């Protein structure tokens, strides 16, 4: 099993791109792929443009959790729809994407954690989600080989799913291609094509494509793309480390997290591990500019990020990355086809030690692969899903804040409906762009 999609991965969709379409989607991650799929299913001619490879960034680097548990109450109805769509789409692929219903468990070390779980339960109940509180005794029974000293209990959602992201997102792209979406990899969109104050298409490194509607699903690159058009959103990106173990005895079939380690079983018998808390934030121009918007998050969790002074060359918020360019200029999107941060080896070493201490009866835990990814995040930990108020013809879906893989199918359907005048089916007031500029109080997503 290969975990990484890289610049050396052969092109699946070499193009060329057509001269025109009804809808252009920028970004070949799970959000962009699903947007393109559902726009095509609504009868539109769709082009999906990816600067590197489908799913090569965060959409294949995430933990592989498809969780309803712990979602912001305004996200939860969309996530419930995504849960249903994952089952439907899995049956439409020609590969096993590893979709399994194995549940999600959040382990609690403090009474405050338990209270936070209890406070979130009404949102689950209102949306028909089967989440429940487990006692310490029930946790011990569910994880018989775990060192459980100090665990107060847990929040558990039996219906939650898991899948292999590096298999699942390319499989969704294959469905989209079969249903008429024209996907072009290695084709960076340099900028929007604008006439008379509205979007009329895009300008790519290979030329213009005309379309009355464009959806931006650029993940960590979205803010940089928008800034070139004078649109500012307080989106930043944080680095998370991930490790994949060699096959191990079956200690738990689902996804679970303690205050130190998040883990989930994979179909190859290994576990995907990630450290909990304190992702790394590279302080660049966007971070400095957006700092006031993040004060509420910093006050709530003052040690929630590790601050690093310089992003590597070419990263979206690196000090030397261009912030303005023209249609004929080579852009940052061409200079860095795939955002591929180096993992922190010290963090990985500690992660393995913490996991081994958590399950002391395991044989030696051996690494199969390690990687890192950049998660696009927003000050309130929920995304922007909105029509651009100042630029008709542009729809923005970004800042998924680590929630994008699981919610991807439904969020893609919502964005496709937004762009084409369909029924979005959900209240999107929480996700409007203007919340950062209209004086609205910052309301953080749940810290569970």
CATH number of the domain to which 352 belongs: 3.50.50.60
Q: 361-386 burial, b for 16+ CB within 10 Å, e for fewer?
A: eeeebeebbbbbbbbbbbbbbbbbbb
Q: What is the pLDDT of residues 306-348, one digit of tens each?
A: 888 889 999 999 999 999 999 999 999 999 999 999 999 999 9
CA distance 189 to 156: 42
State which residues form the domain around 326.
Answer: 23-436
Q: Is residue 16 part of a domain?
A: no
61, 54 Cβ separation under 8 angstroms = no
For residue 304, pLDDT beyond 80: no
**Most confident option among 143-152, 160-169, 287-296:** 160-169
The confidence band for 445, taking pLDDT boundaries of 50, 70 and 90, is confident
Query: Kind of pairing, strands 236-245 and 367-377?
Result: antiparallel
Angle, vertex CA 31, rays to CA 28 and CA 34, nearest 5 = 90
Would you state the pLDDT for residue 447? 61
Integer angstrom CA distances of residue 340 from 56, 226, 446 = 9, 22, 29
Instruction: Give the per-residue pLDDT at 305.
Output: 75
User: What would the pLDDT profile of 381-438 be if each residue is shown by its tens digit?
Assistant: 999 999 999 999 999 999 999 889 999 999 999 999 999 999 999 999 999 999 999 9
370 located within any domain: yes
β-pairing verdict for 46-49 and 23-26 = parallel
10 belongs to a structural domain: no
CB 186 within 8 A of CB 49: no
In a domain, 174, yes or no: yes
CB 5 within 8 A of CB 54: yes
Cα-atom radius of gyration of the chain, to the nearest Å?
21
Tell whether 29 is covered by a domain. yes
Pairing label, strands 23-26, 213-216: parallel
Name the band, by pLDDT with cuts 50, 70 and 90, for residue 19: very high
Say if 2 falls within a structural domain: no
Note whether 200 and 117 are within 8 A (CB). Answer: no
What is the per-residue pLDDT across 46-76, written as a single tens digit (0 to 9) for each? Answer: 999 999 999 999 999 999 999 999 999 999 9
177 neighbors 170 (Cβ within 8 angstroms):
no
Quick one: pLDDT at residue 363? 96
Q: How many domains does the chain have?
A: 1
Does residue 386 lie in a domain region?
A: yes
The answer to whether residue 76 is domain-embedded is: yes
pLDDT of residue 1 exceeding 60: no
Q: What is the DSSP letter of 396?
A: E
């Amino acid at each position: 099993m290969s975990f990484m999609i890289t610049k050396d991965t052969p092109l699946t969709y070499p193009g060329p791109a057509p001269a025109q379409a009804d809808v252009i989607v920028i970004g070949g991650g799970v959000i962009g792929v699903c947007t393109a799929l559902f726009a095509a299913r609504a009868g539109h001619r769709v082009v999906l443009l990816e600067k590197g490879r489908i799913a090569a960034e965060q959409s294949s680097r995430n933990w592989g959790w498809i969780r309803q548990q712990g979602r912001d109450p305004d996200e939860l109805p969309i996530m419930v729809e995504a849960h249903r769509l994952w089952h439907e789409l899995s049956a439409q692929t020609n590969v096993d994407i590893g979709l399994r219903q194995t549940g999600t468990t959040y382990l609690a070390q403090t009474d405050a954690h338990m209270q936070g779980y209890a406070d979130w339960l009404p949102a689950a109940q209102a949306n028909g989600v089967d989440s429940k509180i487990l006692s310490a005794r029930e946790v011990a029974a569910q994880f018989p080989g775990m060192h459980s000293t100090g665990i107060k209990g847990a929040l558990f959602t039996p219906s939650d799913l898991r899948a292999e992201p590096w298999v699942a997102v390319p499989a969704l792209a294959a469905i989209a291609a079969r249903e008429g979406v024209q996907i072009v990899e290695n084709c960076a969109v340099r900028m929007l094509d604008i006439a008379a104050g509205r979007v009329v298409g895009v300008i790519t490194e290979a030329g213009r494509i005309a379309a009355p509607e464009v959806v931006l699903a650029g993940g960590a690159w979205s803010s940089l793309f928008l800034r070139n058009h004078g649109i500012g959103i307080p989106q930043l990106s944080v680095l998370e480390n991930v490790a994949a173990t060699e096959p191990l005895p079956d200690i738990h079939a689902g996804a679970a997290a303690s205050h130190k380690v998040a883990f989930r079983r994979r179909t190859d018998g290994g576990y995907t591990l990630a450290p909990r808390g304190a992702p790394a934030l590279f302080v660049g121009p966007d971070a400095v500019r957006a700092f006031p918007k993040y004060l509420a998050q910093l006050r709530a969790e003052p040690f929630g990020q590790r601050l690093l002074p310089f992003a590597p060359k070419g990263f979206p918020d690196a000090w030397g990355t261009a912030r303005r360019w023209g249609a004929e200029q080579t852009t940052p999107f061409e200079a860095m086809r795939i955002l591929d941060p180096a993992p922190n080896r010290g963090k990985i070493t500690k992660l393995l030690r913490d996991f081994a201490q958590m399950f002391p009866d395991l044989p030696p835990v051996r690494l199969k692969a390690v990687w890192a990814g950049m998660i696009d995040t927003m000050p309130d930990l929920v995304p922007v899903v909105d029509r651009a108020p100042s630029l008709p013809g542009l729809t923005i879906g970004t800042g998924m804040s680590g929630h994008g893989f699981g919610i991807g199918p439904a969020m893609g359907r919502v964005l496709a409906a937004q762009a084409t005048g369909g029924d979005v089916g959900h209240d999107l007031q929480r996700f409007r762009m203007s919340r950062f500029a209209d004086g609205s109080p910052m309301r953080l997503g749940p810290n569970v």
